[in-house]
């Protein structure tokens, strides 16, 4: 409930098999605004990267000194182990705000190369694959312009892809339990990997769509209404009071 399960790796991934990532995401959702405010120059952003890399080493060192059992698992599931990757999101954001520079001049070529590298990173066991893929995605997000990449834009705007993006959170939460269920089923385990994948994908889409319609979409609407009433209205009232003669 409080997204603090990363503090105890023994229970951090004990329900769905994928939930260890969610507290890490929430941690950085809270931390990244501070980085965006403080690291607005290239020099400060480089300092932030150095600190983020150093935090990985400190986390691993402290884990091996004080955590038992499986200190490696503790550091793997701790938010600081992923700081540099989230900082790449800051880089992508700043690239989108920048309208000049050699990267913008050659944006079309860079994006094409990064798309090819991303696909290769997904399909091949390349050394440093995670870092290469992350850098490529960062540059694609930061430099992609719809007007310059009309073919890629049409592919990305293909309605089935947009639909999968809409239900992606439910897909993420449900895919592993469903895959595990099919792998352990005696009759299904004899099918080919492709057949099991297609069946798992289809069932996961159905379950995820149901969860999205019955749970995720209604709670998102409710959350936005609460935010509007509690925060936006309150902020407007506070500003009105500040502007009044009595204030």
pLDDT tens-digit series, residues 184-202: 776 766 677 788 889 999 9
Token couple for 230: 């509690």
Please give the Cα distance from 13 to 221 (Å, whole number).
28
pLDDT tens-digit series, residues 123-138: 888 788 888 899 999 9
| Least confident span in 82-86, 95-99, 137-141, 219-223 | 95-99
Query: What single string gives the DSSP state of each residue in 2-35?
Result: -S-GGG-TTTTTSSSSSTTHHHHHHHHHHHHHHH
The predicted pLDDT at position 51 comes to: 94
The predicted pLDDT at position 245 comes to: 54
């Amino acid at each position: 409930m409080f997204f603090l399960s990363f503090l105890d790796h023994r229970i951090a991934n004990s329900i769905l098999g994928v939930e260890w990532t969610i507290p890490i995401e929430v941690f950085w959702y809270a931390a990244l605004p501070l980085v965006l405010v403080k690291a607005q120059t290239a020099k400060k952003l480089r300092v932030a990267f150095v600190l983020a890399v150093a935090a990985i080493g400190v986390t691993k060192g402290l884990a091996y000194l004080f955590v038992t059992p499986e200190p490696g698992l503790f550091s793997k599931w701790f938010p600081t182990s992923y700081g540099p990757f989230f900082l790449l999101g800051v880089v992508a954001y700043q690239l989108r705000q920048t309208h000049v520079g050699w990267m913008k001049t050659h944006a079309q070529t860079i994006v094409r190369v990064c798309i090819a590298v991303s696909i290769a990173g997904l399909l091949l066991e390349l050394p440093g694959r995670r870092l290469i893929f992350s850098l490529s995605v960062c540059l694609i997000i930061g430099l992609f312009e719809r007007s310059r990449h009309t073919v890629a834009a049409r592919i990305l705007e293909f309605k089935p892809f947009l639909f999968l993006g809409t239900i992606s959170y439910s897909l993420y939460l449900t895919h592993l339990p469903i895959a595990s269920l099919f792998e352990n089923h005696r009759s299904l385990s004899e099918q080919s990997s492709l057949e099991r994948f297609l069946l798992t994908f289809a069932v996961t889409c159905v379950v995820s769509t149901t969860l999205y319609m019955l749970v995720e979409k209604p709670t998102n609407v409710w959350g936005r209404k609460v935010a509007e009433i509690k925060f936006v209205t309150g902020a407007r009232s506070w500003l009105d009071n500040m502007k009044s003669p009595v204030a």
